[in-house]
Amino acid sequence: MEATRGTRSRVMQSIQPLLGLVIIYLIFVVLSSTFRTFDTAKTILTQAVILGTLAAGPTIVLISGGLDLSIGSLFCLVAVCTGRMLIAGIPVGLVVLISLVVGAACGAFNGAIIVGTGIPAFIGTLGMMKTFRGLAEILGMNQDMSRFPESFQMIGKGYLIPISIMAVTFLLVYIFLSRTKIGFNCYAIGGSNEVSRLAGVPVKKYYIIYYTIGGLVAAISAIIIVARLNFTNSAFGVGMELNAIAATIIGGTSLSGGVGGIGRTVIGVLIITTLNAGLSHLGVSSSWQQISIGVVIILAVWLDVIQRRREAKA
Amino acid sequence: MRTEPSNVPLVEMKGIIKRFPGVLALDQVDFSLLPGEVHMLLGENGAGKSTLIKILSGAYTKDKGEIFVRGESVAIHSPVDSLQLGLSFIYQELNLVPQLDIARNMFLGMEPRALGFVKIKELYDKAAFYLNKFHMDLDPYAIVGTLSVTQQKLVEIARALIKDAQVLVLDEPTDVLEDRSRQNLFSVINELKRSHSVGFIYISHRYAEVHELGDRVTILRDGENEGTYRVAEITLDQIIERMIGRKIENQYPQIGAPQAQEALRVEDIRQGNKLNGISLNLRKGEIVSVTGLMGAGKTELGRAICGIDPCDAGEVYIEGKRINFSTPKRTIEAGLAYLAEDRKALGLILVHSIRDNFGLPSSARLSKLGFIDHRAITSECDQFMKKLDIKAPSMETKANQLSGGNQQKAVVAKWLGTQSKVLVFDEPTRGIDIRGKAEVYSLMNELLEQGIGILMLTSDYQEAVEMGHRTIVLYHGRIAKEFQRGEATEEDILRTAIGAEK
Closest Cβ opposite residue B356 in set A4, A187, A198: A187
Structural domain includes residue B380 = yes
Contact B363 A181 (CB under 8 A): yes
Q: Which helix (H) or strand (E) holds A3?
A: helix A2-31
For chain A, what's the residue count?
A: 314
Mutation target to probe the A interface, by most A beta carbons within 10 A, among B360, B362, B373, B378 is B360
**CA of B326: how far to CAs of A240, B307, B384, in Å?**
41, 5, 29
Pairs of residues, one from chain A and one from chain B, whose beta carbons lie less than 8 Å apart:
88
Structural domain includes residue B157 = yes
Answer whether residue B469 shows pLDDT above 90: yes
**Residue B347 forms contact with A (CB below 8 Å):** yes
**Residue B425 forms contact with A (CB below 8 Å):** no
Closest Cβ opposite residue A181 in set B308, B367, B401: B367
Instruction: Look up the CATH number of the domain holding residue B180.
Output: 3.40.50.300
- The Cα–Cα gap between A8 and A25 comes to 25
Contact A184 B363 (CB under 8 A): yes
Closest Cβ opposite residue A182 in set B329, B349, B370: B370
Total domain count for chain B?
Answer: 3
CB < 8 Å to B363, chain A: 181, 184-185, 201
Pairwise pLDDT comparison (A311 vs B246), residue with the higher score? A311
CA atoms within 13 A on the CB side of B94: 19
Cβ contacts of B357 within 8 Å, gap of 6 or more: B348, B349, B399, B410, B414
Q: Which amino acid is at B316?
A: V
Pairwise pLDDT comparison (A104 vs B475), residue with the higher score? A104
Contact B338 A198 (CB under 8 A): yes
Bridge partners of B189?
Answer: none
CB < 8 Å to A191, chain B: 349-352
Contact A200 B327 (CB under 8 A): yes
CB < 8 Å to B359, chain A: 184
**Cα angle, residue B447 at apex, residues B446 and B453 outer, rounded to 5°:** 140
Of B346, B408, B306, B370, which Cα lies nearest the Cα of A196? B346
pLDDT of residue A188: 92
Of B21, B38, B327, B39, which Cα lies nearest the Cα of B30? B39
- Pair (B141, B203) in one structural domain: yes
**Residue A289 forms contact with B (CB below 8 Å):** no
Q: Which amino acid is at B406?
A: N
Torsion of CA B360, B363, B364, B369, to 10 degrees: -150
- Pair (B356, B212) in one structural domain: no
Strands B87-90 and B113-114, by their bridges, are unpaired
- Pair (B391, B283) in one structural domain: no
- The Cα–Cα gap between A5 and B396 comes to 12
For chain A, the C-alpha Rg in angstroms (whole number) is 20
Contact B370 A7 (CB under 8 A): no
Closest residue on chain A to B394 (Cα): A3
Contact (CB, 8 A) for B214 and B39: yes
Give the pTM: 0.75
- The Cα–Cα gap between B252 and B245 comes to 17
What are the backbone angles phi and psi of residue A248, rounded to the nearest 5°?
A: -60, -45
CB < 8 Å to B308, chain A: 197-198
**Residue A9 forms contact with B (CB below 8 Å):** no
Residue ending a domain, choose from B419, B435, B461: B419
Of A117, A124, A106, A101, which Cα lies nearest the Cα of A204? A117
Confidence of residue B3 (pLDDT cuts 50, 70, 90): very low
Structural domain includes residue B72 = yes
List of E strands, B194-346 = 199-203, 216-221, 224-230, 262-271, 275-283, 287-291, 313-318, 321-323, 336-339
Contact A195 B356 (CB under 8 A): no
Contact B351 A187 (CB under 8 A): no
Tell which B residues from 89 to 108 touch A, by Cβ distance under 8 Å. Answer: none
- The Cα–Cα gap between B323 and B304 comes to 13
Chain B: nearest CA to A259, how far in angstroms? 9
**Residue B21 forms contact with A (CB below 8 Å):** no
Instruction: Return the number of other C-beta atoms located less than 10 Å from residue B414's C-beta.
Output: 25
Contact A180 B370 (CB under 8 A): yes
Closest residue on chain A to B306 (Cα): A198
- Pair (B318, B361) in one structural domain: no
- Pair (B312, B367) in one structural domain: no
Domain of residue B169, residue span:
11-244
Axis crossing angle, helix A71-87 with helix A92-117, rounded to the nearest 10: 150
Q: Which helix (H) or strand (E) holds B41?
A: strand B38-43
CA A179 centroid distance within chain: 20
User: pLDDT tens, position by position, for chain A (314 residues)?
Assistant: 233 334 444 555 667 888 889 999 999 988 888 888 888 888 888 889 989 999 999 999 999 999 999 999 999 999 999 999 999 999 999 999 999 999 999 999 999 999 999 999 999 999 999 999 999 999 998 888 988 999 999 999 888 999 999 999 999 999 999 899 999 999 999 998 889 988 889 999 999 999 999 999 999 999 999 999 999 999 898 989 999 999 999 998 888 888 889 999 999 999 999 998 999 888 889 899 889 889 988 988 888 788 777 765 54
Q: Which helix (H) or strand (E) holds B12?
A: strand B11-20
Confidence of residue B278 (pLDDT cuts 50, 70, 90): very high
Contact A7 B367 (CB under 8 A): no
- Pair (B390, B480) in one structural domain: no
- Pair (B387, B493) in one structural domain: no
Contact (CB, 8 A) for B213 and B174: no
Residues B347-372 pLDDT 10s:
899 889 999 999 999 888 888 888 99
What are the contacts of B180-184 at 24+ separation with CB within 8 A?
Answer: B181/B148, B181/B149, B181/B150, B182/B150, B182/B209, B184/B150, B184/B154
Closest residue on chain A to B395 (Cα): A3
Closest residue on chain B to A314 (Cα): B401
Q: Which domains does chain A have, with CATH numbers?
A: 16-313 (1.10.3470.10)
CA atoms within 13 A on the CB side of A147: 3
Answer whether residue B433 shows pLDDT above 60: yes
Mean pLDDT throughout B165-182? Answer: 74
Chain A: nearest CA to B279, how far in angstroms? 23
Mutation target to probe the A interface, by most A beta carbons within 10 A, among B306, B327, B352, B362 is B352
Instruction: Return the number of other C-beta atoms located less than 10 Å from residue A150's C-beta.
Output: 9
Contact B396 A3 (CB under 8 A): yes
Tell which B residues from 264 to 323 touch A, by Cβ distance under 8 Å. Answer: 308
pLDDT of residue B22: 63
Structural domain includes residue B249 = no
Residues B72-118 pLDDT 10s:
999 998 888 888 898 988 887 778 888 899 999 999 888 888 888 88
Contact (CB, 8 A) for B182 and B174: yes
**CA of A214: how far to CAs of A110, A241, B305, in Å?**
10, 11, 37
- The Cα–Cα gap between B437 and B449 comes to 19
pLDDT of residue B2: 43
Residues B298-314 pLDDT 10s:
989 999 999 888 888 88
List of E strands, B53-137 = 64-69, 72-74, 87-90, 113-114, 117-118
Structural domain includes residue B340 = no
pLDDT of residue B442: 86
Residues B30-82 pLDDT 10s:
999 999 999 999 887 668 888 899 899 888 889 999 999 999 999 998 888 88
- Pair (B33, B77) in one structural domain: yes
Contact (CB, 8 A) for A290 and A43: no
Closest residue on chain A to B414 (Cα): A199
**Residue B348 forms contact with A (CB below 8 Å):** yes
- Pair (B306, B428) in one structural domain: yes
pLDDT of residue A3: 34
Bridge partners of B481?
Answer: B473
- Pair (B117, B220) in one structural domain: yes
Tell which A residues from 141 to 170 touch B, by Cβ distance under 8 Å. Answer: none
pLDDT of residue A215: 96
Residue ending a domain, choose from B398, B419, B440: B419
- The Cα–Cα gap between B294 and B275 comes to 13
Say if residue B346 is exposed, middle or buried (CB neighbours under 10 Å; 0-12, 13-18, 19+): buried
Structural domain includes residue B36 = yes
Q: Which helix (H) or strand (E) holds B475?
A: strand B470-475
Cβ contacts of B466 within 8 Å, gap of 6 or more: B252
Contact B396 A199 (CB under 8 A): no
Chain A: nearest CA to B363, how far in angstroms? 6
pLDDT of residue A5: 37
pLDDT of residue A10: 53
Instruction: Return the number of other C-beta atoms located less than 10 Å from residue A283's C-beta.
Output: 7
Strand arrangement of the beta sheet that strand B216-221 belongs to: B87-90, B167-171, B199-203, B38-43, B216-221, B224-230
What are the backbone angles phi and psi of residue B464, rounded to the nearest 5°?
A: -60, -50
Instruction: Provide the 8-state DSSP code for B389.
Output: T
**Residue B117 forms contact with A (CB below 8 Å):** no
| Residues above pLDDT 90, as percent of chain B | 34
Structural domain includes residue B2 = no
pLDDT of residue A311: 65
ipTM here: 0.80
Residues B203-213 pLDDT 10s:
877 777 888 89
Residue ending a domain, choose from B419, B453, B479: B419
**H-assigned helices in B197-235:** 208-213
B/e letters for B96-112, b = 16+ CB within 10 Å, e = fewer, are beeeebbbbbbbeeebe
Closest residue on chain B to A175 (Cα): B371
- Pair (B237, B105) in one structural domain: yes
**Residue A258 forms contact with B (CB below 8 Å):** yes
Axis crossing angle, helix A71-87 with helix A203-229, rounded to the nearest 10: 50
Contact B352 A258 (CB under 8 A): yes
- Pair (B472, B455) in one structural domain: yes
Contact A187 B371 (CB under 8 A): no
Contact (CB, 8 A) for B70 and B6: no
Contact (CB, 8 A) for B281 and B485: no
pLDDT of residue A312: 59
The conformational region for residue B481 under phi > 0 = left, psi -120 to 50 = alpha, else beta, is beta
CB < 8 Å to B418, chain A: 200
CB < 8 Å to A258, chain B: 349, 351-352
Tell which B residues from 351 to 390 touch A, by Cβ distance under 8 Å. Answer: 351-352, 356, 359-361, 363-364, 367, 370-372, 374
Structural domain includes residue B38 = yes
Contact (CB, 8 A) for B157 and B89: no
